[in-house]
Structure 1
Amino acid sequence: MPSKSTAQATLEKADKKANSSSGWFSSSSTKYEEAGDLYQQAANAFKIDKLFKEAGDAFAREAECREKCKENNEAANAWWNAAKAYKRGFPDLAIQALSQTILHLTQSGRFRQAADREKEIGQIHLQETNDIRKACESYERAGDWYAQEDATATANQCYKDAADLHADLEEYSQAIARYEQVADHSLGSALTKYSVKEYWLRAGLCALAMGDSITAKRNMQRYSTQDTTFPSTREAKFVNALIEAVEAQDVEAFTGAVYEFDQITKLDNWKTSILLKIKKTIDVEPGLR
């Protein structure tokens, strides 16, 4: 019979300790503290053996022991360690463990850390489970928590990511609202003011993707009153050229404007995809012309 690994042997010791009946002189909390320590040792040994699912499971059992002893900070930490192990190939379990971490962090008022973990959930949804809707919700929740902890720059980054995802889901009015919110926040500081034109550009593209050039025009005028330097930027000129092309139903002018902009500022995937959607609104029925 093969000999047991250190990890397996430690795990069995931990199980035995957690399931033992408390003696006359020891309290049940001591029992769970000791079991928790053993589960943690087992988890780390599994990590050394690169058995990440087993490591995550052992950390989760440690977390449950910490909860029984009302050690909330330790429990939050154990759940987070579980999540980090599960992230190596078990995204759904990682999300569950992170949700448990967040529960402990919000209960103890640690919203900044809760926001960090919620953002991690958003990234897993985006990169692993491919659930854009849930990723979007996580980024918005993280943004709210960062904002209430005065971490404005990080909050804005989350809201901007959420706006991009709303647009991917074709929820253009929600996307516009988020871009405008981030732009408003960014106008107030000399450090972030330069990025405002990018948010307004994205908001302008969303309005056009809705097939609503009137709203796009009205919004562009409003942005120009919020920042008088905006109309002279390449971003503003680009959106205005697109609005004209859309209203004239002129595919060539549209393509020309896109080509010209791309020569100086490379279009990212997000912009390329939304520009294709806008272009489709122009050449819907070219045969009728």
Structure 2
Amino acid sequence: MGKSQAEDYLAKAEKKASSSVGWFGSSNSKWEEAGDLFAQAANAFKVEKKWRESGQAFEREASCRQQANEMNDAMNAFHNAAKSYKKSDPEAAVTALHQCIKLLVNSGHFRQAADREKEIAGIYAQDGLDVAKARDSFVRAGDWYKQEDANATANQCYQQAAELSADLQDYQRSMELYQTVADWSLTSALTKYSVKEYWLRAALCSMAMGDLVTTQRLLETFAQKDVTFPSTREAKFAHELMDACEQADVERYTAAVYQYDQVTKLDNWKTGVLLRIKKALEEDEGGLT
């Protein structure tokens, strides 16, 4: 059986990359031509749905582009490699994206670096591949977006990092991130309406830590930042839960959750944290302190 078109391009690319430069040739043109052939091979492998081979060919292209000092093309090649690897080898996709990020940072393209870091977070978060690494990548992406004044996108990353922190039962970090998200949301009329949700989540995190002193302090701080907050359903719910925890009253706690859910359906995140608080409350007859 003969070679496929992809394998034919790959063989030509390997031959060109390993060839010597003649008297009238240039090293740059050799690497440019080899890079073009590796790119053709990579795309042909994509047509054949050979994702690993495609990713490897794109990475070889990237190496050739670097040899030819074509850094923008090298960045694109690493990104294309990651896209192919995503289909079959998430870790290899992450490695290719890290190579892309390194070149972007060296070139001062921090907004694009943030985009690639966010992709890494998405890969790790998908199917729970590595929740801790996903959280850390979302935070890094958020920091870069913030540096580039892309504040709304930064906030989305911090919000996703906060959710994942709670999944990791790192409620301290989750609480801090939700406060960061809320503080920025307060600065815009378009996002101010969502602040009460983030503050409720921060308060729930402090309760999940068993730290009702911090819960009280948070609610007082939030009331100072927005005088309308104490009258919201979210604030009243948080206060009722806190009081129930202080009194170690499981029935009161359960009733508060039920009543809130009747009007505002609880999402999966809140349900998980509320169940954790309830479990601790049931185990601690003296209540949380």
Match of 1:208 in 2: 207
Task: Name the SS for the 1:4 alignment partner.
Answer: coil
Cα distance, 1:177 vs. partner? 1.4
Deviation of 1:204 (Å) = 0.3
Residue segments in structure 1 that go unaligned for 5+ positions in a row: none
The reply on whether 1:281 has 2:269 as its aligned counterpart is no
TM-score (norm 1): 0.96
Q: Per the alignment, do residues 128 and 42 of structure 1 end up closer, same or farther by CA in structure 2, a change over 3 Å counting?
A: farther
Normalising by structure 2, we get a TM-score of 0.96
State whether structure 2 residue 64 is matched by structure 1 residue 87.
no
Structure 2 CA distance for aligned equivalents of residues 266 and 8 of structure 1: 55
RMSD of the TM alignment (CA)? 1.4
The superposition leaves residues 126-162 of structure 1 with CA deviations (integer Å, 9 ceiling, x where unpaired) of 1156211111110010000000111000001111111
Do the aligned partners of 2:16 and 2:34 also contact (CA within 8 Å) in 1? yes
* CA shift in 2, pair 1:156/1:251, >3 Å: same
Q: Distance in 2 between matches of 1:129 and 1:64?
A: 32
Write the letter of the residue equivalent to 2:2: S
In structure 1, the residue matched to 2:268 is 269
Answer whether contact 1:91 1:129 (CA < 8 A) is retained. Answer: no
Equivalent residue runs for 1:169-180 within 5 Å: 169-180=168-179
Contact 2:78 2:97 in 1 (8 A): yes
How is 1:247-266 mapped onto 2 (pairs within 5 angstroms)?
247-266=246-265
Tell me the alpha carbon deviations over residues 198-222 of structure 1, each in whole angstroms, 9 at most, x when there is no partner. 1101100000001011210111011
State the match for 1:146 in structure 2: 145
Q: Which amino acid aligns with 1:116?
A: D
- Show CA shifts across 1:56-75 (max 9, x none): 11000000000111111100
Distance in 1 of aligned mates of 2:175 and 2:284? 28
3-state DSSP of counterpart to 1:23: coil
Question: Are 2:14 and 1:15 aligned?
Answer: yes
The answer to whether the 8 Å contact 2:135/2:161 transfers is yes
Q: Aligned AA for 2:136?
A: E
Q: Which amino acid aligns with 1:251?
A: V
Letter in 2 for 1:52: W
- Give the % identical residues: 58
How many aligned residue pairs are there? Answer: 287
The answer for the alignment partner of 2:223 in structure 1 is 224
> Where do 1:95-110 residues align within 5 Å?
95-110=94-109
Matched AA of 1:121: I
Greater than 3 Å deviation, 4+ residue runs: 285-288
168-177 or 81-90, which deviates more: 168-177
Bigger shift: residues 170-179 or 79-88:
170-179
Q: Deviations over 1:16-64 (max 9, x none)?
A: 0000111111111110100000000111111111111111110000000
Q: Is the 8 A contact 1:91 1:128 kept in 2?
A: no
> Offset at 1:170?
2.1
SS at match of 2:283: coil
Q: CA deviation at 1:89?
A: 1.7
Measured after TM superposition, the shift of residue 285 of structure 1 is 5.0
Instruction: Report the Cα distance in structure 1 between the residues aligned to 2:18 and 2:258, rounded to whole angstroms.
Output: 69
Distance 1:19 1:188, change over 3 A: same
Correspondence for 1:32: 31
